[in-house]
Structure 1
Amino acid sequence: MSEPSYSLSNEQLLNVLALYQNGIAIHVGEDSVIEYANDSMIAIWGKDKSVIGKSLEDALPELKGQPFIDLFRKVWNEGITISGTDTPADLIVDGALQTYYFDFEYRAIKNNEGKTYCILHTATDVSARYLSQQREQNLAEEVSAINEELSASNEELIATNEELIESQHQQQKLYHELVEGDARFRSMVRQAPVGMCIIRADDLLIQEVNNAYLALVGKERAEFEHQTIWEAVPEAAASYAPVMNNVITTGVPFVAKEHYLTLVRNGQPEDVYIDFVYEPVKLYDGSVTAIMVLGIDVTEKVIARLNIEEAEERGRLAVEAAEIGTFDLNLKKRVMITSDRFNAIFGFNGPVKWETFASVIHPDDNTARLLAHDEAYKTGKLFYEARVIHPDESIHWIRVQGKVFFDADNKPERILGTLLDITQVHRLNQQKDDFISIASHELKTPITSLKASLQLLDRVKDNPTSPLFNKLIDQSNRSMQKISSLVEDLLNVNRTNESQLRLKKTTFNVNDMLESCCNDIRTVDKYKLIIQGDKEAKMHADEHAIDQVMVNLVNNAVKYAPDSLEIFLIVEKLDNFVKISVKDNGPGIPQDKIARLFDRYYQAENSGFQNAGLGLGLYISAEIIKRHGGKIGVDSELGGGSTFWFTVPVAE
């Protein structure tokens, strides 16, 4: 008798999936909205059930900048399967961002028509396996490296042993001659005024050491008797054993000046500087039988010199970092020694006479300079600010400070001082004053207009049907819009200065953006915005920021080409960029103005071209495009109209 067929309900199927030990989840839509995730997947993500119903980007914001969200989108759009093994992913688990490794699969589940209706997402945390493999691999590499080092060390030891054996044979031949001169040599060592230590070459056994050497290394004589040199001074072995071996091998002396090392003197480590020599003592056949070490402690001398050099270097770096010029003026000989920076600030390529420096002081400031010197001869302090005229006729501001030194008769003899170029400070102060003046003027006009409109409205408030009522409201709105525009320019330029211009990039159709931008211009019904070019082009950018750029450029065309009633918005595809141009048929722009059009506060600096606003619109537009990785510019000629353009990367 056959069993009746039985179909599992959706809830039963989900309960079965929940028992699956590895992570499994079901996502829907291009944004990978999480429709289902079993407990294992929730644990892998380090989240809770609240992620159900959220997009993957909202549920796991730490995935931004990682490839997984784009991979989900690709699987959904292309109906494919993507999998990976030992794939790293940075996830926030227990409040900490950590790197985990997974075997995963994103599989598109399609209906009968072949359209993807969900993505089956499986994942297995293989971090322990992956890290274990890495540790095993690293351990294998370390073992291999150690084996190679051991092999090399064995070869060196073999070579050294062979040399020692050969040296011993030669030593036996000359033994009798060495015995005869040994007494005289030992006596010379003991009486030497510098530290001396004689070391046998074949086994590095200490043969003789004088008291000066014992004092140098801070040891007792008993610590040197019947010891090798590195047994007696083990702290120096790592650095100098190879050097001594090389002297024994080559027979070439080693001379060290102010070598830094740490010696254990009287049981305490001390950092010292030593002048020493490893001098090979040779037999008649040139073989090295011993090493004579001569050493002098020069620690105090070196520390004193280093302190002086450090102080000088700190002073030099401070002066260079501040771009300060320095001078030494001998008032009696009328000779001045100057630094390169001092000469450059005055506009000279090299040192010149004191009188030459004084001759380039601006005539209007020379009296103040002379008065400052007269005051300095009384107080000992020199200070003044003045303008200097460079050979190219450019004007630069300088600040001079100095100290006067007097001779035994209390007469001024010498001035040591510094020179600072403060041209930029004066220029910025002037820009600030100009900007405040322009901002005040530009805000005053719409505020005055708004005030007048409100006063008139107050008079007719009891008669809202008056024709004047609607007209005054329109005037008030226009004044308020002007004030808002000026304030927005100020806020935008402040954001760009403080690197607060955050971009929220999306992919959008350029033509759609152009159709919806510049509504304030369209509503006037005077100017016609004509869109031309590639209507299918897309770009990956901050749509609001690009809209702002378009508004600035179109407003710029309306302002400076008011008779050009047709403004063309042209879209072009150039390799990996989209180029948007705003073209008018106005009077054009002089060539000498074009280079500075995108400078901040350009109007404040040059009213010859621009004559309204704060001069920030084009500057802000340039900053926005630069942060998108694009370029901005203008093509224009007098009488031929102007074309402002910019490029932005295409959609990814």
Structure 2
Amino acid sequence: MILIVDDRPENLISLQKVLQAHNFEVDTASSGEEALKKVLKNNYVLIILDVQMPDMDGFEVAEAISGFSKAKDTAIIFLSAVNTELKFITKGYLSGGLDYITKPVDINVLLLKIKTFYRIYEQNRKLNEVQEKLLEEIEFRKQAEHKKDEFISIASHELKTPLTSVKGYIQLLQRSLKRDDKAIAQNHLEKASIQLEKLNELIVDLLDISKIESGKMKFNMKTFCADNMVNNAIEMLQQSNPDFKINKLGKTHEMIFGDEMRLEQVVINFITNAIKYAPGTNQVNVTVNIKDGKLYLAVKDFGIGISKEQQHKIFDKFYRVEENSNRFNGLGIGLYICSEIINRHGGTIGVNSVPDEGSEFYFIIPITEGEILKNQI
């Protein structure tokens, strides 16, 4: 938009009509004070500014505009019928003007200049957009590189820990066998098995995220009983965590369509996290039901909880809650994998949590093939 500033109405109207006839959007101001108010409210590509005005002349207006951050790139053309001497023209350029035209104005010349300023403005705008995108891309690649390095460091540490433990238990097992102490040997073997299972879980997560990244994560979609799937997950984790009471609330005998193994993986992840992030507590609630043609499953713990600021990031790849990263092991990819599995089922995944009161992770998925396909589109 162009702003014309002139204290003479006839000048404003005539120039406004000419510019509008050439498809320029035009605004007007009849004084320097009015012009400054409009510049603060609106964005202008070009200001055509009369020099000789009462109270506040064009030079003063231009100097004031140059102090406005939002108008620092706005082009100014001075028009003057009286101040045509070189010293005034020089002052116009020093005041921030990009051109100084004396009256009477050759309208064709003025139009050419305006079109040139518009073209320069558009070129600068596009260059700025490209520059901003490049800076965003650079920033994204720096952050991505940092996340990758951080992940490699975490993964190396997490993989090394169970491996070191297994190595230690095997050495102790060998000594026990030499002493023919079968009871202690059995104890060392069981502990080594636990560490191997942890190692296996980490490797499975790494393989899953690799498949997600490459688009090769396969799903075996078929009809199965949701209740049996949930019961299997609870039974397995109850056996490995006898001190925790895993309460199942609700049930359904309806058959649903989906990948039973992958959905069980999500339930296991939810319950495992609920136990891990709730030290000092001894129960977890698993709610399951079907309503309005959708399966709802939620796992609630009574542990440390998650702050509201961090809840929207919890399903991001490699995200780990900073204040808990040193207290609890993990790669920060389990919930990301869960979110990908639920997304492939056309569903939603989320969390409700209050710090120091606990968290409830949940997912909702359609139960028929048609609804899943519809939700994926």
**TM-score, with structure 1 as normaliser:** 0.36
Does 1:430 find its partner at 2:152? no
Residue in structure 1 matched with residue 308 of structure 2 by the alignment: 591
Do the aligned residues in 2 keep the contact of 1:554 with 1:582 (CA within 8 Å)?
yes
Q: Residues 566-589 of structure 1: CA distance to partner in whole angstroms, max 9, x if unpaired?
A: 211111222121101111122321
Does 1:581 find its partner at 2:298? yes
Among 616, 621, 630, the residue aligned to 2:333: 616
Do the aligned residues in 1 keep the contact of 2:252 with 2:290 (CA within 8 Å)?
no
Cα shift at 1:477: 0.7
Does 1:630 find its partner at 2:358? no
Cα shift at 1:397: 8.2
Identity rate, percent: 32
Residue in structure 2 matched with residue 343 of structure 1 by the alignment: 128
Does 1:477 find its partner at 2:262? no
Question: Which structure would you say has the larger Rg?
Answer: 1
The amino acid across from 2:295 in the alignment is V
| Distance in 2 of aligned mates of 1:397 and 1:451 | 49
Residue in structure 2 matched with residue 506 of structure 1 by the alignment: 222
Q: Residues 185-213 of structure 1: CA distance to partner in whole angstroms, max 9, x if unpaired?
A: xxxxxxxxxxxxxxxxxxxxxxxxxxxxx
Q: Residues 313-346 of structure 1: CA distance to partner in whole angstroms, max 9, x if unpaired?
A: xxxxxxxxxxxxxxxxxxxxxx999643542466
Does 1:535 find its partner at 2:252? yes
Do the aligned residues in 1 keep the contact of 2:284 with 2:300 (CA within 8 Å)?
yes
Q: Residues 427-482 of structure 1: CA distance to partner in whole angstroms, max 9, x if unpaired?
A: 22111111110011111111111111112222222234343211211121111111
SS in 1 for 2:178: coil
After the TM superposition, which residues 136-215 of structure 1 pair with which residues of structure 2 at under 5 Å, given as runs?
none
Residue in structure 1 matched with residue 319 of structure 2 by the alignment: 602
SS in 2 for 1:602: coil
Cα shift at 1:516: 1.1
Q: Residues 111-156 of structure 1: CA distance to partner in whole angstroms, max 9, x if unpaired?
A: xxxxxxxxxxxxxxxxxxxxxxxxxxxxxxxxxxxxxxxxxxxxxx
SS in 1 for 2:289: strand
Among 341, 366, 369, the residue aligned to 1:649: 366
From the superposition, tell whether residues 555 and 626 of structure 1 become closer, same or farther in structure 2 (CA, over 3 Å).
same
SS in 1 for 2:365: strand
| Distance in 1 of aligned mates of 2:157 and 2:127 | 41
SS in 2 for 1:458: helix
The amino acid across from 1:480 in the alignment is L
Among 340, 352, 357, the residue aligned to 1:640: 357
The amino acid across from 2:227 in the alignment is N
Q: Residues 11-46 of structure 1: CA distance to partner in whole angstroms, max 9, x if unpaired?
A: xxxxxxxxxxxxxxxxxxxxxxxxxxxxxxxxxxxx
SS in 1 for 2:338: helix
What is the aligned-residue RMSD (CA, Å)? 2.4
Do the aligned residues in 2 keep the contact of 1:345 with 1:421 (CA within 8 Å)?
no
Q: Residues 261-280 of structure 1: CA distance to partner in whole angstroms, max 9, x if unpaired?
A: xxxxxxxxxxxxxxxxxxxx
| Distance in 2 of aligned mates of 1:534 and 1:468 | 42
Q: Structure 2 regions of 5+ residues with no counterpart?
A: 1-97, 99-119, 370-377
After the TM superposition, which residues 236-275 of structure 1 pair with which residues of structure 2 at under 5 Å, given as runs?
none
Do the aligned residues in 2 keep the contact of 1:539 with 1:648 (CA within 8 Å)?
no
From the superposition, tell whether residues 421 and 504 of structure 1 become closer, same or farther in structure 2 (CA, over 3 Å).
closer
Among 571, 596, 599, the residue aligned to 2:288: 571
Q: For this pair of structures, how many residues does the alignment match?
A: 247
After the TM superposition, which residues 117-132 of structure 1 pair with which residues of structure 2 at under 5 Å, given as runs?
none
The amino acid across from 2:213 in the alignment is N
From the superposition, tell whether residues 345 and 506 of structure 1 become closer, same or farther in structure 2 (CA, over 3 Å).
same
**TM-score, with structure 2 as normaliser:** 0.61
Residue in structure 2 matched with residue 187 of structure 1 by the alignment: none
Do the aligned residues in 2 keep the contact of 1:397 with 1:426 (CA within 8 Å)?
no
Do the aligned residues in 2 keep the contact of 1:589 with 1:636 (CA within 8 Å)?
yes
From the superposition, tell whether residues 563 and 397 of structure 1 become closer, same or farther in structure 2 (CA, over 3 Å).
farther
From the superposition, tell whether residues 560 and 342 of structure 1 become closer, same or farther in structure 2 (CA, over 3 Å).
farther
SS in 2 for 1:570: strand
Does 1:492 find its partner at 2:208? yes
Q: Residues 222-260 of structure 1: CA distance to partner in whole angstroms, max 9, x if unpaired?
A: xxxxxxxxxxxxxxxxxxxxxxxxxxxxxxxxxxxxxxx
| Distance in 2 of aligned mates of 1:598 and 1:502 | 20
| Distance in 2 of aligned mates of 1:608 and 1:577 | 36
Q: Residues 507-528 of structure 1: CA distance to partner in whole angstroms, max 9, x if unpaired?
A: 2222211111144421131111
Residue in structure 1 matched with residue 67 of structure 2 by the alignment: none
| Distance in 2 of aligned mates of 1:457 and 1:646 | 43
| Distance in 2 of aligned mates of 1:341 and 1:441 | 46
SS in 2 for 1:461: helix
Does 1:462 find its partner at 2:247? no
From the superposition, tell whether residues 421 and 631 of structure 1 become closer, same or farther in structure 2 (CA, over 3 Å).
closer
Q: Which has the higher strand share?
A: 1
